[in-house]
Amino acid sequence: ETGVTQTPRHLVMGMTNKKSLKCEQHLGHNAMYWYKQSAKKPLELMFVYNFKEQTENNSVPSRFSPECPNSSHLFLHLHTLQPEDSALYLCASSPDLNEQFFGPGTRLTVL
Protein backbone atom coordinates (compact mmCIF):
# COMPACT_ATOMS: atom_id res chain seq x y z
CA GLU A 1 0.00 0.00 0.00
CA THR A 2 1.30 3.46 -0.89
CA GLY A 3 0.41 7.02 0.04
CA VAL A 4 -1.06 8.43 3.23
CA THR A 5 -3.96 6.61 4.84
CA GLN A 6 -6.19 7.73 7.69
CA THR A 7 -8.57 5.79 9.89
CA PRO A 8 -11.35 6.03 10.66
CA ARG A 9 -12.75 8.07 7.77
CA HIS A 10 -15.74 9.14 9.85
CA LEU A 11 -16.10 9.42 13.61
CA VAL A 12 -18.97 10.55 15.81
CA MET A 13 -18.24 10.99 19.48
CA GLY A 14 -19.72 12.49 22.57
CA MET A 15 -18.01 15.16 24.59
CA THR A 16 -17.01 12.71 27.30
CA ASN A 17 -15.57 10.08 24.97
CA LYS A 18 -11.93 9.28 24.29
CA LYS A 19 -10.99 8.33 20.75
CA SER A 20 -7.92 8.29 18.54
CA LEU A 21 -7.28 9.14 14.92
CA LYS A 22 -4.61 7.21 13.06
CA CYS A 23 -2.43 8.23 10.15
CA GLU A 24 -0.01 5.99 8.31
CA GLN A 25 2.34 6.75 5.45
CA HIS A 26 4.30 4.35 3.27
CA LEU A 27 6.28 7.00 1.42
CA GLY A 28 9.43 6.88 3.52
CA HIS A 29 8.93 10.45 4.70
CA ASN A 30 10.30 11.71 7.99
CA ALA A 31 7.94 14.60 8.64
CA MET A 32 4.25 14.26 9.49
CA TYR A 33 1.55 16.84 10.18
CA TRP A 34 -1.94 17.21 11.62
CA TYR A 35 -4.26 19.87 10.20
CA LYS A 36 -7.79 20.90 11.10
CA GLN A 37 -10.11 21.96 8.30
CA SER A 38 -13.31 23.70 9.35
CA ALA A 39 -15.95 24.99 6.99
CA LYS A 40 -15.18 28.40 5.47
CA LYS A 41 -11.78 28.63 7.21
CA PRO A 42 -8.25 28.08 5.95
CA LEU A 43 -6.47 24.91 6.93
CA GLU A 44 -5.07 25.22 10.42
CA LEU A 45 -1.75 23.56 11.16
CA MET A 46 -1.95 21.75 14.50
CA PHE A 47 1.21 19.72 14.98
CA VAL A 48 4.43 18.92 13.14
CA TYR A 49 6.68 15.92 13.77
CA ASN A 50 10.10 15.55 12.21
CA PHE A 51 12.01 12.30 12.79
CA LYS A 52 9.45 11.43 15.49
CA GLU A 53 10.11 14.64 17.42
CA GLN A 54 7.42 17.27 17.78
CA THR A 55 8.68 20.50 16.26
CA GLU A 56 5.49 22.51 16.18
CA ASN A 57 2.46 22.85 18.43
CA ASN A 58 0.35 25.62 17.03
CA SER A 59 -1.36 26.60 20.31
CA VAL A 60 -3.59 23.55 20.17
CA PRO A 61 -5.79 22.86 23.24
CA SER A 62 -4.61 20.03 25.44
CA ARG A 63 -7.72 17.99 24.68
CA PHE A 64 -5.84 17.10 21.47
CA SER A 65 -2.79 14.96 22.17
CA PRO A 66 -0.53 13.80 19.32
CA GLU A 67 1.69 10.76 19.33
CA CYS A 68 4.33 9.72 16.82
CA PRO A 69 5.78 6.30 17.69
CA ASN A 70 7.78 6.06 14.46
CA SER A 71 8.22 7.95 11.21
CA SER A 72 5.42 6.01 9.52
CA HIS A 73 2.66 6.47 12.08
CA LEU A 74 0.98 9.45 13.66
CA PHE A 75 -1.92 9.47 16.09
CA LEU A 76 -4.20 12.18 17.41
CA HIS A 77 -5.76 11.27 20.76
CA LEU A 78 -8.99 13.06 21.53
CA HIS A 79 -10.67 13.55 24.90
CA THR A 80 -13.40 15.79 26.27
CA LEU A 81 -13.86 17.54 22.95
CA GLN A 82 -16.30 20.35 22.25
CA PRO A 83 -18.85 20.62 19.43
CA GLU A 84 -16.70 23.33 17.81
CA ASP A 85 -13.99 20.71 17.37
CA SER A 86 -16.13 19.06 14.70
CA ALA A 87 -14.13 19.31 11.48
CA LEU A 88 -12.14 17.38 8.90
CA TYR A 89 -8.79 16.36 10.35
CA LEU A 90 -6.11 15.92 7.73
CA CYS A 91 -2.79 14.18 8.07
CA ALA A 92 0.13 14.91 5.76
CA SER A 93 3.68 13.72 5.33
CA SER A 94 6.70 15.33 3.72
CA PRO A 95 10.13 14.20 2.52
CA ASP A 96 11.69 17.60 3.02
CA LEU A 97 9.46 19.74 5.22
CA ASN A 98 8.17 21.57 2.14
CA GLU A 99 6.06 19.56 -0.31
CA GLN A 100 3.36 17.71 1.60
CA PHE A 101 1.26 14.71 0.70
CA PHE A 102 -2.17 14.50 2.28
CA GLY A 103 -4.38 11.69 3.45
CA PRO A 104 -8.14 11.61 2.80
CA GLY A 105 -8.99 12.95 6.25
CA THR A 106 -11.20 11.91 9.16
CA ARG A 107 -14.56 13.65 9.36
CA LEU A 108 -15.14 14.18 13.08
CA THR A 109 -18.49 15.09 14.59
CA VAL A 110 -18.68 15.93 18.30
CA LEU A 111 -22.15 15.75 19.79
3-state DSSP call for residue 85? helix
Q: Which of 79, 104, 87, 102 is nearest to 7 (CA)?
A: 104
51: left (phi over 0), alpha (psi -120 to 50) or beta: left
Burial class of residue 13, CB neighbours in 10 A (0-12, 13-18, 19+): middle
User: Does 99 contact another protein by CB under 8 A?
Assistant: yes
User: Does 32 contact another protein by CB under 8 A?
Assistant: no
Span interacting with another protein, options 12-20, 47-55, 67-75, 76-84, rule CB under 8 A: 47-55
Of the two residues 41 and 62, which places its CB atom closer to another protein in the complex? 41
Of the two residues 5 and 65, which places its CB atom closer to another protein in the complex? 5
User: Does 73 contact another protein by CB under 8 A?
Assistant: no
Of the two residues 15 and 38, which places its CB atom closer to another protein in the complex? 38
Residue 41's DSSP bridge partners are none
Which residues sit at the interface with another protein, rule CB under 8 A? 4, 6, 31, 40-43, 45, 48, 50, 55-56, 90, 92, 97-105, 107
